[in-house]
Structure 1
């Protein structure tokens, strides 16, 4: 079907399941979905297919966490993210698949190192305005070139010391707006076509299933376990992209 073999479809189904749960319970898992899709399809086309699924997951997350949002953080990130998306579009237009994957992996590993270092500081304060600008621009860049902005923003929201539901709600609104704004850019690059859209439609039910399961997990997961899961999943996804 659509030129994909059985192995590719199994990988895509696994990736779709990860998308749903990453949107409503474990944000750091999103990078694993990026890696799985890139293993099943050409990296550039995989970003367009994954974008549709991410938007479906975003819609569920926005609905589930509509009362748990830090609007101040979102306002602070607006313009840096726009700048990052524009830069990412230019980069995606001139870079090959291998370069895209490695650049994203290096960015994620660097941010992971910064986050771990900050968490070791006993009196580490949340990032200030300039820190928000830096994270926002990197989030816009990475989400445009590889749909990998989730881990960048996860590192930022962890640094802001948000509770689980406020974390998920703020991330939900942020990524719904960002992913929606990316649609015309992907269309302009010719990445949204009949093939990528058809694959996405086939996989949407899997995203819905795990998005609903993720809500139940978020209701029960302790804060410390949630924070550690985000860090571990970010590290695993970054290393996969690097290799």
Structure 2
């Protein structure tokens, strides 16, 4: 029942599976890499359903590792917008071609990165202009502006995250930009993201099955690749404890841009 794929294709799929685990426990932006590899090797629609089940496997490890680090206030604010985005994603998948899906997601990701970087630049200029005693206050205000006090940000990022995660399992970069703007420490970032995607990915299963995205051959592929996901998740746990905040944020942004450009070209 396994797809008839050449050896190098299985190697790339195994690499993608390791990256799935790594993205859930260390570098969320890296989640665009397996999206791209699965879509390049498997039929595009089938790749979405196959990858979803591997993501759920990695979610279980991420929750176990970071279950005490989630910010539930942020998660609850995102719920209504995310559900709206998932619904729009289901409707879009029913009528859109793979090409349209990839290009739209790529454009969205680049816009989100651009907005995040511009906000950071403005905030850094404001912090530089402030006196030493005002820097902490400036940081608090900027973090609040990212979502704690402004529901518009949660609505925009939540709906985009729900939409992109439904149509291509590519919601990670969108939500990473939102959580980066919140200036969370590494573990709080990973814990909040872990619970967010664990809940959303489970909710996506019936929709994906109904759209025919989950297939029997895809389930066999998942069974073969699941150990690679576990290896990636465990390696990510080791790596996360050794990443400093600045390097972590830069890696998230770089992987997000690379994934967005790939989807566009």
How does the TM-score come out when normalised to structure 2? Answer: 0.90
Q: Contact 1:37/1:46 (CA < 8 Å) preserved in 2?
A: yes
> Structure 2: how far apart are the matches of 1:9 and 1:212?
21
Higher-Rg member (1/2): 2
Q: Provide the secondary structure at the position in 1 that maps to 2:229.
A: helix
> Structure 1: how far apart are the matches of 2:198 and 2:56?
6
Alignment correspondent of 2:52: 51
Q: Contact 1:105/1:238 (CA < 8 Å) preserved in 2?
A: yes
Alignment RMSD (CA, Å): 0.9
Q: Provide the secondary structure at the position in 2 that maps to 1:121.
A: helix
Q: Provide the secondary structure at the position in 2 that maps to 1:151.
A: helix
Asked if 1:126 is matched to 2:127, the reply is: no
C-alpha displacement of 1:13: 1.0
Q: Contact 2:46/2:215 (CA < 8 Å) preserved in 1?
A: no
Q: Contact 2:92/2:167 (CA < 8 Å) preserved in 1?
A: yes
Alignment correspondent of 1:157: 179
C-alpha displacement of 1:12: 1.0
Asked if 1:32 is matched to 2:33, the reply is: yes
1:58-106 superposed Cα distances (whole Å, 9 cap, x missing partner): 0000000011010000000011101100100010111111111111101
Q: Contact 1:9/1:40 (CA < 8 Å) preserved in 2?
A: no
How many matched pairs?
A: 243
- Structure 2 regions of 5+ residues with no counterpart? 127-141
Alignment correspondent of 1:6: 7
> Structure 2: how far apart are the matches of 1:179 and 1:82?
12
Alignment correspondent of 2:105: 104
> Structure 2: how far apart are the matches of 1:168 and 1:193?
30
Q: Contact 1:105/1:239 (CA < 8 Å) preserved in 2?
A: yes
